[in-house]
Amino acid sequence: MVPFPAQPAGVPWPAAEWPEAELAADVDREAVETALADIFGTPPELGVSLATVVVHRGAIVAERYAADVDRDSTLISWSMAKSMTQAVIGVLVGDGLLDIDAPLGPLVPEFAGTEKASITVRDLLAMKSGLEFNEDYVGGTGPDVPVSHCLEMLFGAGVDDHAHYAASQQLHPPGTVWSYSSGTTNILSRLAALCVASGFDLASGTTEPAMRELLDARLFGPIGMTTAAPKFDAAGTFVGSSYVFATARDFARFGLLYLRDGVWDRHRLLPEGWADYARAEVAVDEDPPHFGYGAHWWIWRDQPGSLAAHGYEGQYVIVLPERDLVVVHLAKIPADVRAPLFPKLDRLINAFPT
């Protein structure tokens, strides 16, 4: 597997501001400019790109925004938040508070005393829990249209308690079938909060204060994601499937954390091997361009060693250790017209040397 590169000597870690640099001599400058022009020249009927930030060898070397967006604009993560939830689980594993292979019956009330009790964190991170979940973002009506569990969870019957809604779904044999599920992530999110909530006043029945402190003290704070704003449901569960708002530069900080193997400014934030675990492929998406899937991270299979956080409307944090590169792209691009974006991002990535 391609190793994660260390921060280059002489390049400071991002503090209040990112270090910026000119494109290196071994970068195809014309290809970078052409790719960015193509990305932001997309016709309106194919959606709109809002922000792109490129970090090469630890410094920002290219950056572009839509007309009404700038480096201080906070934008939604959608499912990129899933990869942040994976980071939180890693923190708890490193602290010895969570065993990813232990059955979750004792920790998840909806699993206790049922066949679901054997589900593990590893199953959940791999999207192989066996819990039924239709990850449909459009929905519809009529007897032949399956229910969108995602829409029901976020906006319908499960709106007040996302984790309970997801954990209550029917079970198929766990660990056997890959099924991408936002509900799965919200179960992990509630589980993470419960692992650290004992020191908080839970008289209100909410774990929100515990999870906010965990996110701020162990993830967002140490890497300087000062604009990160996670959202919680009415039950106090971080909506780790979908809702973190941040600037493009702060999303790039999260990518740099994984590019540096979970280390930030000489301090290890994630357990050794956790980033490698994130990119260990367990499934391949049947839809083109056939991304691989690891542990709550996607894999760009034509980019060796890569891992990527993906969001619903064309949000990406792409981590490319072979090139010492992070590419952030934030957008509002519907899935049915997104295909032309991928060759443009590929041209941008391939402009940087391996």
Looking at residue 201, its pLDDT comes to 45
Higher pLDDT, 250 or 141: 250
Q: Residue 168: pLDDT above 90?
A: no
What's the rounded mean pLDDT across residues 311-332?
A: 98
What's the rounded mean pLDDT across residues 326-335?
A: 97
Looking at residue 137, its pLDDT comes to 59
Strands 267-268, 263-264: parallel, antiparallel or unpaired by DSSP?
Answer: antiparallel
For residue 151, count other CB atoms closer than 10 A to its CB: 20
Plot region of 96 (φ>0 → left; ψ -120 to 50 → alpha; else → beta): left
What's the rounded mean pLDDT across residues 314-327?
A: 98
Averaged pLDDT score across all residues of the chain: 92
Three-class SS state of 143: coil
Looking at residue 163, its pLDDT comes to 85
Q: What are phi and psi of 331, to 5 degrees?
A: -160, 180
Which band of pLDDT confidence, cut at 50, 70 and 90, is reported for residue 204? very low
Q: Which of 11-15, 49-53, 195-199 has the lowest mean pLDDT?
A: 195-199
Tokens 């997309």 map to which residue?
Answer: 42
For the chain, list the domains and their CATH numbers.
29-73+247-350 (3.40.710.10), 81-216 (3.40.710.10)
Which band of pLDDT confidence, cut at 50, 70 and 90, is reported for residue 140? low
**Amino acid code (one letter) for 64:** R
Q: Residue 112: pLDDT above 50?
A: yes
Q: Residue 203: pLDDT above 50?
A: no
Is 154 in contact with 242 (CB distance < 8 Å)? Answer: yes
Q: What is the pLDDT of residues 262-301, one digit of tens each?
A: 999 999 999 999 999 999 999 999 989 999 999 999 999 9
Taking alpha carbons only, the member of 150, 167, 168 closest to residue 159 is 150
Residue 11 DSSP code: -
Higher pLDDT, 205 or 104: 104
Q: Residue 143: pLDDT above 80?
A: no
Looking at residue 150, its pLDDT comes to 74
Rounded CA separation 294/310 (Å): 12
Strands 244-246, 263-264: parallel, antiparallel or unpaired by DSSP?
Answer: unpaired
Q: Which of 32-36, 89-93, 105-109, 221-225 has the lowest mean pLDDT?
A: 105-109
For residue 180, count other CB atoms closer than 10 A to its CB: 17
What's the rounded mean pLDDT across residues 220-231?
A: 98
Is 122 in contact with 100 (CB distance < 8 Å)? Answer: yes
Give the pair of three-digit tokens for residue 182.
């936002």
Give the helix/strand (H/E) hosting 165: helix 162-167
What's the rounded mean pLDDT across residues 347-354?
A: 98
CA angle 147, 125, 320 (to 5 degrees): 110
**Residue-level length of the chain:** 354
Which band of pLDDT confidence, cut at 50, 70 and 90, is reported for residue 205? low
Q: Residue 1: pLDDT above 70?
A: yes
What's the rounded mean pLDDT across residues 115-128?
A: 96
Looking at residue 146, its pLDDT comes to 66
Rounded CA separation 270/224 (Å): 15
**Amino acid code (one letter) for 319:** V
First and final C-alpha spacing in the chain: 14
pLDDT above 90 coverage of the chain, percent? 80
Q: Residue 47: pLDDT above 50?
A: yes
Burial 203-221 (b: 16+ CB within 10 A, else e): eeebbbbbbbbbbeebbbe
Which band of pLDDT confidence, cut at 50, 70 and 90, is reported for residue 149? confident
Looking at residue 202, its pLDDT comes to 42
Packing angle, helices 208-215 and 182-196, rounded to 10: 90
Plot region of 51 (φ>0 → left; ψ -120 to 50 → alpha; else → beta): beta
Q: What is the pLDDT of residues 4-20, one digit of tens each?
A: 999 999 999 999 999 99
For residue 109, count other CB atoms closer than 10 A to its CB: 13
